[in-house]
Structure 1
């Protein structure tokens, strides 16, 4: 529950709108927020409400959308609901501490491990760090273990020593309709987890060898191989007169020409480029190894065009940033696949089914 002390609602709204203007928020978005706040203030006046809190704001959301929520810290992909909730979340946070919180993207509540599994879960997390896994790999592994733990809790299991192979099989049934490779990754993580539990003495029987095996087709991981003509059409579909288009063109060109993973492209800094030596220097996220790559002519000019004519003013040191206030760096989970898919559609490309054609596929081109 968001606790609210200050009740100068009108003053808070004025401060929020001014902060958004100073951060370069687009006129259209400013208008949307202004309209949302006007409607909310009329609702308060009509219902003679002088003081607000999270409960009152959620009642307003329900009155306007028919959707009921028990808190603001929830995930919704409904644009109509977001139109009501995002401005109110900004308002509540401002009334709470007098600060403008520009990034109010709603996220799932952080994982709280049940006390009966906490010791072994935390030990497993520490083990992954000790093994030198990348942060992305650690997050991927722990997320799957979290889902397993929460499933076991719903089955009345209160200790890892009570987990049987039947319980694990029951969990696997919940993802049986997923791709074979997807299920295989879960099994790989679970083997790691239960081997660790057995070696550390948390469980008496090693369940890892008992886990089912899946046969992954030889071509299951083969990405789509782009033709030169498709690549040309893809790049031509990008509006290079638009600031965001300049960014996207440079990102896709780096992926195509240098074969970098999107995570490494996200992490590029302005200082990663040595213009005198015409090189790009970075540390690979997956291996942790430093690498130097040639700054190819077309990539160099694309980056220059973006820096001079497209990149918004920001304190971020990352080369590529979001083009939406407050213009921060991309999140660690941003795969850029949505942007790529949009350009695929715009280019009129027909991608074959059964083959991956996300950002990773560009590395195979």
Structure 2
């Protein structure tokens, strides 16, 4: 157990090293002072996550709001204060899912990550693999920077980093550990780390064939869309984003990267450069999708010279980063529509793609090219969807205006 002032001091130094802004640090210091007063009032000297969560709950009614789906961003920030202290006590690091950006790397560390990305490209890995593996390499390099660097990396370091992944979805842990194993193989070949470090990465049993995609009932999708308040700018944006995923099966990252130049309005077509495959495909620009985008651009989008269509509406206004997820956007409207959202089964934006594929198959569409629609490079990756036809997408896409038509189970 660690005394709370000592833990706070260590976390503060680490956050400064990671480049947290001065204004952010001022807010955290104020929260830490309030938390320390709470501990002192109860005669507790050593940090306890349970006591810290009691403080969070008393300060904002966190757990009741969480159940009701009414949490505010300020409530989540208080939750992070407690969780970050707990993670720092356990791992001596700021766990990645509480930091939106990869830690600032030194010039030498950044050069190592750049060499790793080049190594992946030489092995003809996909663009999305190069990006995601490179991001993980930056996170791990920053993590080892507090423990003597890559040259001193051993099984203990690898295990400590793997422990910071607790709380992620099993699929995410599997992907991150695969990326870590690949990076350590590169580091070993380059003489940057010991030859046995890659073998120290724990194995995660593959669940590819066991996974059953989460799908939504079309009626639930209709209720979610109807719950979006299209009278305000954020609502207009969110409505268009959800329609793009539900109707055209786009990945979240591809929606975030859409630019004005991708829209062929006279031809009613949309050109999508798929981040995962690096391929560009053309999709039909359905009327409801097109009008939703137009409504957002004309009446909701903040003034900006950014080429990306969809922007964050909080300062600093700009495009979404690749690390920002759209899952909570869908969950927010699902709760507003009183559509059940289970913690046991993740049903976010990506599950709308699953639903589209299922609808195409259940409609009797020939099972040939769903992989093309979903942007998979091989049929094996498509798994339970098989394939279907781009030509039938406009007729068979998930239609939120047909609530009575259910997806067979």
Relative to the length of structure 2, the TM-score reads 0.56
Unaligned segments of structure 2, at least 5 residues: 1-20, 36-71, 78-98, 356-409
> How big is each residue's C-alpha offset from its partner over 1:127-172, in whole Å with a ceiling of 9 and x where there is no partner?
24555656764453234334434444444x4553x43334423433
Given that 1:180 and 1:216 are in contact with CA atoms closer than 8 Å, whether structure 2 keeps it comes out as no
- 1:1-365 alignment runs, 5 A limit: 66=33, 79=74, 110-113=103-106, 120-131=112-123, 137-155=129-147, 157=148, 160=151, 162-176=152-166, 178-203=168-193, 205-209=195-199, 211-217=201-207, 221-324=211-314, 327-365=317-355
Distance between the aligned counterparts of 1:270 and 1:306, measured in 2?
A: 12
Pairwise CA distance, 1:177: 5.6
Distance between the aligned counterparts of 2:267 and 2:23, measured in 1?
A: 60
> How big is each residue's C-alpha offset from its partner over 1:51-86, in whole Å with a ceiling of 9 and x where there is no partner?
xxx999988997899479xxxxxxxx9849x9xxxx
Given that 1:336 and 1:359 are in contact with CA atoms closer than 8 Å, whether structure 2 keeps it comes out as yes
Pairwise CA distance, 1:237: 0.4
Aligned to 2:364: none
Distance between the aligned counterparts of 1:341 and 1:57, measured in 2?
A: 27
Pairwise CA distance, 1:270: 2.2
> How big is each residue's C-alpha offset from its partner over 1:114-133, in whole Å with a ceiling of 9 and x where there is no partner?
96x67655532432455565
> How big is each residue's C-alpha offset from its partner over 1:235-262, in whole Å with a ceiling of 9 and x where there is no partner?
1101223333222211111100100011
Given that 2:105 and 2:142 are in contact with CA atoms closer than 8 Å, whether structure 1 keeps it comes out as no
Given that 2:102 and 2:135 are in contact with CA atoms closer than 8 Å, whether structure 1 keeps it comes out as no
Pairwise CA distance, 1:289: 1.0
Larger Rg: 1
Q: 1:283 to 1:170 in 2, by over 3 A?
A: closer
Q: 1:150 to 1:350 in 2, by over 3 A?
A: same
Aligned to 2:358: none
Q: Secondary structure at the match of 1:316?
A: coil
Distance between the aligned counterparts of 2:310 and 2:138, measured in 1?
A: 32
Q: 1:193 to 1:238 in 2, by over 3 A?
A: same
Between the two proteins, the alignment pairs up a number of residues equal to 277
The alignment yields a C-alpha RMSD, in angstroms, of 3.9
Given that 1:281 and 1:293 are in contact with CA atoms closer than 8 Å, whether structure 2 keeps it comes out as yes
Distance between the aligned counterparts of 1:57 and 1:169, measured in 2?
A: 30
Distance between the aligned counterparts of 1:163 and 1:193, measured in 2?
A: 12
Distance between the aligned counterparts of 1:202 and 1:63, measured in 2?
A: 41
Q: Secondary structure at the match of 2:238?
A: helix
Q: Secondary structure at the match of 1:235?
A: helix
Aligned to 1:92: none
Q: 1:236 to 1:189 in 2, by over 3 A?
A: same
Relative to the length of structure 1, the TM-score reads 0.62
Given that 1:223 and 1:355 are in contact with CA atoms closer than 8 Å, whether structure 2 keeps it comes out as no
